[in-house]
Amino acid sequence: MENDYLLAELKTIRDQSRIELTKARYSCSMALIGMSIIGYYKNHAAEFEETDVPAEVKRISSMISPILIPMLEAMADLENDTPAIAA
């Protein structure tokens, strides 16, 4: 896992179990995002015939990476009685 945002976040955590949990959340989330991107391009192949899908996965993952851990942490703190934010 060579990601500057993940590594910076891990440096702030002292509890080893929380470090492992953060790594697992990050890895699973990035895997799901990557699979979603691949699936999107596969399902829309006619529109993106000459697209370098691995490059797109890397590009989009790089855009998402800075917000992923804070978003996961915020979602982990939610409870059933937390009011929904209106869109």
What average pLDDT score do residues 47-68 get?
91
Element (H, E) at 87: none
- Give the model confidence (pLDDT) of 8-53 as tens digits: 999 999 999 999 999 999 999 999 999 999 999 999 988 888 889 9
What average pLDDT score do residues 57-86 get?
84
pTM (global) more than 0.95: no
What is the Cα–Cα distance from 56 to 85, expressed in whole angstroms? Answer: 31
pLDDT above 90 for 87? no
pLDDT for 85 equals 67
Q: Find, among 77, 34, 27, 67, the residue nearest to 53 by Cα.
A: 34
